[in-house]
Amino acid sequence: MNLTSKPVQEIFGDVVCPGDKSISQRILIIGSLLNCDINVSGFLNAKDPLSTMAALNQIGASINKDGDLVRIKKRSRPFNNPESAIDLGNSGTGIRLLTGFVSGLNLKATLIGDESLSQRPMSRVVDPLVKMGKKISTNDGKTPIKIHGGSISDNFEYKMPVASAQVKSSLILASLSSGNSIHIEEPKVTRDHTEKMIEYCGGKIDVQNSSEGKIITLHKSDLSEISSYEVVGDFSSAAFIIIAALISKKSKVLIKNVGLNPTRKGLLEVLLGMNANIKIVNQRKTCNEICGDLIVESSNLEGIEVSDSIIPNIIDEIPILSVAASFAEGETVIKNASELKVKESDRLKATSDGLEAMKIKHDMLCDGLIIYGQNNDVTVSKEIDSFGDHRIAMSFLVAGMRSKEGIIVKNCKNIETSFPNFLNTMNALGMKIDG
Ligand code: S3P
C-alpha cells in the first residue's frame, strides 16, 4: 500500500494519543497470569497487541475485545500447550516477551512471525533462557523458536549485553511465570514498563539506580488481583504528531494523555535542546505510569549532538527525529545506535535512503547518522520505500508536509501494527495524506 503526503503549512487541533503498544502487550501477559477478571481501557487496538492477545488465547488465556474495552477473564483451566505454532506477526515485543513467559509456564511451544520478524535476532532472548535451564532451539538464532522443555532456575543473575527492554522483560516474565526470582544488571537503561506493572500488581521488585545503570531484582512474588487497568498513550506514536507540528510553519496542537515514563520520553529532552516549543500540562500518574498532555507549536529547530546515553530511550524515535533534524538549522549527530539495524527494518539504511530521496545532506555511520539540516522545503523526485516498517513509513509521511510537491511512501500497510488511525488522526489535524 503506497501513500502520498502533500505539502501542508499548518496543523491545528486536539488529539487523544493512541494507547501504548508496549504497555498494551504487557498488561495482556501479566493480566493473564493474575488470573482474575480485568477490564483494560486505553488498549491499543492495533495488529501487534492483537497478535499477542491471540497468542495468549492459544495457550489458554481468556481475553476478548468488547467495544473499546479489553476483558481479561479468570481462566477456567491452567495454561496449555498450543495446538499449533504461535504466530506473532510483525511483533518483536510479542515474540520475545512470550518466549520468556511461555518458558516460565513450562509449556512446549513453537513461536513464529512474519517475514520481517523471521529475520530478526532471537538468540538475545533464547541464550539467557537456555542458561536459566530451558531447552530451546532456533533456526540459527532466528525463528521458529521451539521451546522443548527444561525449567527456569531460581536466583538467576544476568548482565545485559545489549540494551533491550524486550530481552530484560522476557527474562523477568520467565522468572515471574515460573514463580522464581531473578537479578538483572542493566548498564544501559531501557524502558521499564514491565517492572512498573509488576510493582503495580503487588509484585516484589527492587530497582537500584547507580552510575553503572540499574540493578533489578524480582523476588518471588504472588501478585494481587486488580479489576481494571488503564493504558496511557504511546509516546512513540505522539512523536509523529509532535514533529509534524514542530516542522510546519504555523501549527499548534494539543496531544492528550501521552505516556511520559522517564525511560520513554528522551525525545522531549532532545527536542527541547533543539529549541522546540513544547509544554507539558496536566501531568499525572495512571496505573504507575506518568502521563500528561503536550502543547506543541511550530518552532525554528536547531541541530544537536545527541548524547550516547539517551539512545536506548529514543531508539524508536530516531527515524522521526531524523526528519526533524532535516528541517533544523545545522548539524545533528546521532551515534551509538546500531540497534536500529535489527528493528522491523534496517532503520539506519531505511532512514538514510529516505533522507537521500529528500536530498538532505547526511553521512550514514556504522552506528548512526550525521544530518546537515536546513529549514527549506524539499523536492523529492523518487518514491521512498518504508521497507514495510511502520515507523519509517510514518516518518516520511510526516516529512511530506515540508515537500514542494508531495512525497510518495511505499509499503505502508504495517502502520496498522502500531498506529492504525494514523491517517485519520493526521488528516483531522490538517495533514493531507491519502492513498
Ligand atoms: C520494546 C522495546 C524496544 C522497542 C520496541 C518495543 C518493548 O525494543 O524498540 O519497539 O516493548 O519492550 P528492544 O528491546 O529490541 O530495544
* Residue 211 confidence (pLDDT) above 90: no
| Ligand 1 pocket mutation, candidates 20, 21, 22, criterion most atoms within 8 A of CB | 22
Q: Provide the pLDDT for residue 183.
A: 98
pLDDT score for 381: 86
Average model confidence (pLDDT) for the chain? 98
Per-residue pLDDT, 421? 98
**Is residue 332 in contact with ligand 1, taking CB distance under 6 Å?**
no
* Active site members: 316
22 lines ligand 1 (CB under 6 A): yes
| C-beta of 29 in contact with ligand 1 (< 6 A) | no
Q: Count CB-CB contacts under 10 A for residue 425.
A: 21
Nearest atom, ligand 1, residue 316 CA: 9
Task: Please indicate whether residue 236, judged by its CB atom, sits closer than 6 Å to ligand 1.
Answer: no
Segment 377-399 shows an average pLDDT of: 97
CA 280, 283, 289, 295 torsion-angle sign: negative
Which residue has the least CA distance to atom 9 on ligand 1?
A: 316
The pLDDT tens digits for 31-45 are: 999 999 999 999 999
| pLDDT tens by residue, 243-263 | 999 999 999 999 999 999 999
Q: State the pLDDT at residue 407.
A: 98
> Mean of the pLDDT values across residues 157-178?
98
59-64 contact pairs (CB < 8 A, 24+): 59/86, 59/102, 59/105, 59/107, 59/109, 61/28, 61/32, 63/28, 63/31, 63/32
pLDDT in tens, 60-114: 999 999 999 999 999 989 999 999 999 999 999 999 999 999 999 999 999 999 9
The yes-or-no verdict on residue 221 having pLDDT over 90 is no
Q: Is the CB of 169 under 6 A from ligand 1?
A: yes
Residue 141: pLDDT band (50, 70, 90) is: very high
The proportion of the chain whose per-residue pLDDT surpasses 90, expressed as a percent, equals 98
Q: How far is the CA of 164 from the centre of ligand 1 (A)?
A: 6
- Ligand 1 centroid – CA 182 distance (Å): 20
Residue 210 has pLDDT above 90, yes or no: no
Res 375 pLDDT > 90: yes
**324-333: average pLDDT:** 98
| Pocket flag, ligand 1, residue 93 (CB < 6 Å) | yes
For residues 178 and 171, give the distance between their C-alpha atoms in angstroms, rounded to a whole number: 11
| Cα–Cα distance measured from residue 236 to residue 37, given in angstroms and rounded to the nearest whole number | 29
Nearest-angstrom CA–CA distance, 223 and 155:
18
Q: What pTM did the predictor assign?
A: 0.98
Residue 293 has φ and ψ, to the nearest 5°, of -110, 145
Question: Cα angle at 148 between 143 and 154, to 5 degrees?
Answer: 105
pLDDT of residue 114: 98
pLDDT of res. 5: 98
Counting ligand 1 atoms within 8 A of each CB, the residue from 166, 171, 192, 340 with the most, and so the one to mutate, is 166
